[in-house]
């Protein structure tokens, strides 16, 4: 069975999925960590690869950029492909002074300026959080990473890459927000709606207040080893 956005047959996508935003990064991750990765879908250039990780079936599939895009793919994976767990592995802009570029952030909550939460429950502001079991697993998996700092805390999912206002940023930092990205809110809300598990684990690729730390585009594609190691082992926890 295919969906409008995924051509894989049921069974060709594993119940455990790593989901970067960038299709090129998805391919690179799949070939780096999976044994015998097989391309099972490539609609609109959004690739999905399935293989095994430490003997367990696992898939890597891109989400594209932004909340609407990740909602499409996550919904179809949970609803039609029997996926149980999705971990977003992507980049974010660090905003906390305690986070440096190349550090890893495990998103314990996702604040947002998106209207998405109100689409699920009108007149209510949903608290968007990951599944406890994945968050607990990430705590254990992070202990094995010695050379990269790992931070646990809330992040901010913005609907507009270039429209994060200074007053908003200042308020978020005061509340302990670690970084800003564009997808975690969509993944967390979709997991809640579909009865799946979700978590976002991010690598800080730039810093809002210290551009001298920023990664190049090429570095963003490859500087993910610690993040992916934590995420893949968390899926197995």
pLDDT digits (tens, 9 = 90+) for 165-221: 788 889 999 999 999 999 999 999 999 999 999 999 999 999 888 877 777 777 666
Using 50, 70 and 90 to split pLDDT, how confident is the model at 223? low
Using 50, 70 and 90 to split pLDDT, how confident is the model at 222? low
Segment 97-110 shows an average pLDDT of 96
**Average confidence score pLDDT of the chain:** 93
pLDDT at 219: 67
Measured between alpha carbons, how far is 198 from 84 in angstroms, rounded to an integer?
Answer: 9
User: Which residues, other chains included, contact 81 with Cβ-Cβ below 8 Å and sequence gap of 6+?
Assistant: 6, 8, 10, 13
Using 50, 70 and 90 to split pLDDT, how confident is the model at 18? very high
Tokens of 112: 């947002």
Segment 21-27 shows an average pLDDT of 94
pLDDT for residue 124 is more than 90: no
In the chain, DSSP assigns E strands to 16-19, 35-43, 46-53, 56-61, 85-94, 104-112, 150-157, 179-181, 197-207
Segment 101-118 shows an average pLDDT of 93
- E strand or H helix that includes residue 142: helix 132-142
Which candidate in 147, 206, 210, 214 is catalytic?
Answer: 206
Q: How many residues does the chain have?
A: 237
pLDDT at 164: 78
Using 50, 70 and 90 to split pLDDT, how confident is the model at 56? very high
For the ranges 30-34, 87-91, 101-105, 211-215, the lowest mean pLDDT is seen at 211-215
Q: Is 206 a catalytic residue?
A: yes
Measured between alpha carbons, how far is 154 from 72 in angstroms, rounded to an integer?
Answer: 23
**196 DSSP assignment:** -
**134 DSSP assignment:** H
């Amino acid at each position: 069975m295919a969906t409008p956005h995924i051509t894989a047959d049921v069974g060709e996508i594993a119940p455990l999925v790593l989901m970067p935003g960038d299709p090129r990064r998805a391919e690179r991750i799949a070939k780096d960590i999976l044994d015998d990765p097989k391309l099972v879908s490539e609609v609109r250039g959004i690739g999905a690869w399935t293989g095994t990780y430490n003997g367990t079936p696992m898939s890597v599939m891109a989400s594209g950029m932004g909340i609407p895009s990740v909602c499409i793919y996550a919904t179809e994976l949970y609803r039609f492909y029997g996926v149980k767990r999705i971990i977003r592995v992507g980049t974010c802009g660090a905003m906390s002074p305690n986070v440096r570029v190349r550090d890893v952030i495990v998103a314990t909550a996702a604040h947002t300026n998106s209207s998405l939460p109100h689409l699920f429950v009108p007149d209510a502001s949903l608290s968007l959080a990951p599944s406890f079991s994945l968050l607990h697993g990430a705590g254990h998996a992070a202990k094995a990473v010695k050379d990269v700092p790992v931070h646990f805390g809330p992040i901010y999912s913005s609907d507009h890459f270039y429209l994060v206002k200074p007053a908003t940023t200042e308020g978020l930092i005061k509340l302990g927000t670690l970084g800003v990205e564009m997808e975690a809110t969509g993944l967390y809300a979709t997991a809640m709606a579909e009865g799946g598990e979700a978590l976002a684990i991010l690598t800080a690729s730039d810093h809002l207040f210290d551009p001298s730390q920023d990664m190049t585009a090429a570095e963003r594609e490859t500087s993910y080893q610690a993040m992916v190691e934590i995420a893949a082992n968390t899926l197995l926890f």
